[in-house]
Structure 1
């Protein structure tokens, strides 16, 4: 599949409004309903193919997260990208995927980059570094990481503070001496 920006005929720094306007132009020109009455099946099929490509491009470029992922991967090596189908809700093209109807969904696929040196027989134990990077840079992960570090710092501070308070209140005594005094007090031996 080609470049989404070229498909819609826009620059790489196009705004969301420009992406939407470009998609509307393509939709008005290539929508299957517009070519439903034609007798030329090849022209109708070609228009449907162009409409699906424009729909896919709009789906990616209109969402900030998907666009950022696409741009990140596009800056790398475009020759190592392949459209793969994901299992789950979008494995079949459905009218619910875009809300346009007519079954021209994006198919639920996602952009995956094949790791360098890993052909079709990549080992199952290999690490997908891009997926790992994407997971550890998500907002939820970073919030949890920050919370965990605050909790660990607090526990370390509290542990050190308790020891310092003990030393201040019991100067010249050891912990064992204090425990012996507690045992004697509990037994009634003073």
Structure 2
């Protein structure tokens, strides 16, 4: 699938042209607009809407677009054209889908459409989960509690033992134990 053809754009399209083409196509193929149409029309509109959404997500992001363009160029020169590749899309307004075209060995699997996420994606997903934030908050609260207890213990010591350090007090306790043991 050529994302540029899906949106009816040329390879040198600007972000504004991409946004405008996406808006126009999304309105045309949005599933809500075809809710009262026959099933075949609804299915076709849903598929086209998914393709338009995927094309927009890839072309609007500079890094995904550069990766897509480099893979399209390599694929077009190696395999005739890039229409026989596997792709997967889980983004676009809640209409995620997975589709495979042609043989997976004949095409390419680009990094943005891979079924297996790379290590950075896994780490970022973990670091942005609610459980991670709750764990960090709990650990922060525990650490803060230990710091407060330590500081308050020092303050209480200074209140009850003015002019003495902890080490001096320990020495006096040891001397008292030695005297008591001698008797």
TM-score (norm 1): 0.46
Q: Which has the higher helix share?
A: 2
Higher Cα radius of gyration: 2
TM-score (norm 2): 0.48
